[in-house]
């Protein structure tokens, strides 16, 4: 048991780091860069609002009380998200600093889930099952809210032992609850009421994923245990190392690399147990449930190599990302406020909600965690932003997080997918600079180019190279899986994407052996790359015709919930990153922005 406890602690530490988004990680001081956002909604939780009820805030009406009236209760309608079965009532939103944490009763939640799971096979009354489920949904919502709140308090003051322990408790319970929840959904998937449950609450196709949940049997569970053990070994090794240091990477290179190799072998067997020939195919389809395949990803990557990587030959485009303007805490909020007001509509609504209820913290404090993230307090249907300003990148991190905030405010933190989520945040980096005041024309132009350079180098190319490496690593025969071969493949990827010369540990041929995503989130990194191409399209529209980028951003806010990345882009009339013409336009736009021939 002790071992499990340590694993949970390590897992908690991972999730904690993983709250940073792709770009936030880059701009803060990450022990491990570029993490997927753990607080982004779990794709396995019900995401669709009932299409027959008007759950979206009307963007044309202000969501706040008139500031001239002594209205005490801020209005935020409850029924946007997972609790939409409750009566539609306004909820009072306190300031973030005044929200109260109380330890959630996880034992009751777990017992309730277990009881319902047992009940499902013998019950053919969908309404009865749903009523039982609703009380569980309220508790799940509360657990996630308290988890987010405990993390906020802990990240505000890392010396606070109480909230460190409470956050740890919530994360530990989450692991158990998650497993129980999956069991419940698998039971629903196998029940006679399946269709009725989907229609009434969960959304069409929700249980498809759970058909597969128990498939694989004992072999699968045994392999998952092996995978966890290997992951544990990786964390154990990483826990005493600083992977921003060349020498410490070199020191663990062989040992950590060999753990990765064993993980690849085990994961290939997991894929086989699930009926797939290759783990990456399995991961893209089943773990991340993408609406594009590894073959489409390979085509995308070869186009990136051919059309975008050559831009790195120009030193301006390769180095511009370090030229962001630096501003103090209060000025940064003023700047964002001015930008949001000029963008108007849902962006301005979202900013005012954030500002009126102080759902952000960008203050200086020596005990703050050195990251930026956006999280969500479901009990108040309120996102919040956390940024450690103790770096020159306060402004760009704030802009990035505000992109997430606007999406989550507008869409009640309803999951689409990571690609769509990062499109909002990365596009907002550019849009906020385009609208913020006060900038001289030349400073504005410089910041806009810095954003483009940043998106190209760190998102499209770096993460593209990493995704390419992963696809190649998982295609190797077992005897070809050696540290030397993987060094060579990773080094070649860095060359192919034009980023081998950058002086940073992440661009060295041994970095694969310590990069957390390759261990903990296999198959993930492609999301950073293709979402940045989508975000750049919004930048391009804005550059070509002021206002057009904001319009595209707002159309994207109105996406149909439950649709995935490629389908969402098609729905809102944006070009697909998987089309050659899109990448051609992107390359032409970048050349133009950097005055290249
Ligand atoms: Zn992000």
The rounded Å distance from CA 25 to ligand 1 centre is: 8
pLDDT above 80: residue 353: yes
Measuring CA to CA, which residue among 417, 423, 408, 557 is closest to residue 80? 408
Tokens of 328: 């103090």
CA of 415 to the centre of ligand 1 (A): 14
Q: What does the pLDDT read at residue 512?
A: 97
Residue 279: partners with Cβ closer than 8 Å, 6 or more residues away: 264, 267, 268, 270, 271, 474, 522, 523
* Cα angle, residue 134 at apex, residues 133 and 138 outer, rounded to 5°: 120
Q: How many CB atoms lie within 10 A of CB 390?
A: 14
Pairing of strands 382-387, 360-361: parallel
Give residue 149 CA to ligand 1 midpoint distance, Å: 19
Task: State the pLDDT at residue 240.
Answer: 84
| Residue range 174-223, pLDDT digits in tens | 878 888 998 999 999 999 999 999 999 888 888 887 876 655 667 887 89
Question: Nearest 10 degrees: CA dihedral of 106, 111, 116, 118?
Answer: 140
What's the pLDDT score for residue 77? 67
- 22 Cα: distance to centroid of ligand 1 (angstroms): 5
- Dist. CA 374–CA 383, nearest whole Å: 7
Strands of 372-377's sheet, edge to edge?
360-361, 382-387, 372-377
| CB under 5 Å of ion ligand 1: residues | 21, 425
From ligand 1's centre to the CA of 442, what distance in Å? 27
Mean pLDDT of 121-129: 94
* More confident call, 425 vs 61: 425
Q: How far is the CA of 171 from the centre of ligand 1 (A)?
A: 21
CA 18–ligand 1 middle distance (angstroms)? 10
Q: What are phi and psi of 524, to 5 degrees?
A: -80, -40
Ligand 1 center from residue 398 Cα (angstroms): 10
> What's the pLDDT band for 329 if we cut at 50, 70, 90?
confident
**In contact, 556 and 420? CB cutoff 8 Å:** yes
Percent of the chain exceeding pLDDT 70 equals: 84
pLDDT averaged over every residue in the chain:
84
Spatial separation of the C-alpha atoms in residues 289 and 282, rounded to whole Å: 9
User: What is the biggest distance separating any 2 CA atoms in the chain, rounded to whole angstroms?
Assistant: 73
| Ligand 1 center from residue 270 Cα (angstroms) | 30
Measured in angstroms, how far is the CA atom of residue 422 from the centroid of ligand 1?
5
Rounded mean pLDDT, 1-22: 30
107 half-sphere exposure, CB direction, 13 A CA radius: 1
CA of 65 to the centre of ligand 1 (A): 30
Task: Supply the pTM of this predicted model.
Answer: 0.83
User: What pLDDT does residue 366 have?
Assistant: 87
CA of 528 to the centre of ligand 1 (A): 9
What is the Å distance from ligand 1's center to 24 Cα?
6
Ligand 1 center–CA 21 separation, angstroms? 3
pLDDT value, residue 19: 33
Mean pLDDT for 228-236 is: 89
Q: Tell me the CA–centroid distance for residue 374 and ligand 1, in Å.
A: 8
Question: What is the pLDDT at residue 561?
Answer: 82
Q: How far is the CA of 403 from the centre of ligand 1 (A)?
A: 8
């Amino acid at each position: 048991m002790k071992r499990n406890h340590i694993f949970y602690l390590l897992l908690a530490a991972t999730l904690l780091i993983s709250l940073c988004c792709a770009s936030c990680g880059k701009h803060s001081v990450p022990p491990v860069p570029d993490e997927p956002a753990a607080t982004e909604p779990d794709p396995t939780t019900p995401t669709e609002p009932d299409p027959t009820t008007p759950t979206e805030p009307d963007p044309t009406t202000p969501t706040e009380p008139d500031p001239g009236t002594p209205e005490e209760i801020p209005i935020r309608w409850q029924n946007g998200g997972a609790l939409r079965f409750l009566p539609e009532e306004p909820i009072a939103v306190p300031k973030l600093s005044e929200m109260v944490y109380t330890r959630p009763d996880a034992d009751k939640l777990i017992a309730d889930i277990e009881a319902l799971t047992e009940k499902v096979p013998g019950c053919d009354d969908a309404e009865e099952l749903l009523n039982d489920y609703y009380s569980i949904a309220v508790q799940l919502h509360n657990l996630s809210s308290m988890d987010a709140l405990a993390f906020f308090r802990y990240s505000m003051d890392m010396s606070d032992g109480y909230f460190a322990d409470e956050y740890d408790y919530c994360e530990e319970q989450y692991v158990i609850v998650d497993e129980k929840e999956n069991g419940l959904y698998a039971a629903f998937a196998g029940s006679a009421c399946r269709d009725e449950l989907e229609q009434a609450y969960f959304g069409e196709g929700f249980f498809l994923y759970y058909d597969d949940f128990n498939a694989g049997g004992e072999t699968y569970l045994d392999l998952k245990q092996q995978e966890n053990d290997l992951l544990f070994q990786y964390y154990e090794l990483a826990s005493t190392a600083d992977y921003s240091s060349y020498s410490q990477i070199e020191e663990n290179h062989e040992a950590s690399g060999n753990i990765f190799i064993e993980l690849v072998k085990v994961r290939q067997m997991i894929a086989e147990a699930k009926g797939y020939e290759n783990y990456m195919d399995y991961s893209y389809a089943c773990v991340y449930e993408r609406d594009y395949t590894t073959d489409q990803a390979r085509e995308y990557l070869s186009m990136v190599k051919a059309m975008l990587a050559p831009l790195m030959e120009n030193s301006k485009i390769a180095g511009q990302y370090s030229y962001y303007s630096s501003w103090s805490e209060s000025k940064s909020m003023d700047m964002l406020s001015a930008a949001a007001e000029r963008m108007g509509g849902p962006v301005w609504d979202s900013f005012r909600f954030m500002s009126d209820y102080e759902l952000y913290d960008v203050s200086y404090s020596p005990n703050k965690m050195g990251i930026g993230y956006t999280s969500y307090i479901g009990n108040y249907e309120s996102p919040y932003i956390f940024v450690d300003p103790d770096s020159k990148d306060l402004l760009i991190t704030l802009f990035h997080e505000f992109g997430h905030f606007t999406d989550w405010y507008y869409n009640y933190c309803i999951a689409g997918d990571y690609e769509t989520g990062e499109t909002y945040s990365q596009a907002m980096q550019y849009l906020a600079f385009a609208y913020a005041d006060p900038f001289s024309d030349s400073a504005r132009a410089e910041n806009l180019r810095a954003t483009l350079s940043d998106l190209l180098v760190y998102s499209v190319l770096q993460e593209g190279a990493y995704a390419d490496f992963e696809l190649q690593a998982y295609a190797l025969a077992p005897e070809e899986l050696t540290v030397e071969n993987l060094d060579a493949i990773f080094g070649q990827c860095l060359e192919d994407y034009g980023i081998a010369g950058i002086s940073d540990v992440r661009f060295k041929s041994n970095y694969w052996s310590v990069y957390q995503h390759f261990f903990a989130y296999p198959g993930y990194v492609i999301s950073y790359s293709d979402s940045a191409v989508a975000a750049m399209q919004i930048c391009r529209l804005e550059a070509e015709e002021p206002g057009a980028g904001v319009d595209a951003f707002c159309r994207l806010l109105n996406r149909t919930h439950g649709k995935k990345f490629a389908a969402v882009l098609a729905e809102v009339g944006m070009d697909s990153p998987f089309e050659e013409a899109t990448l051609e336009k992107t390359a032409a736009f970048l050349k133009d922005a950097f005055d290249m021939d």
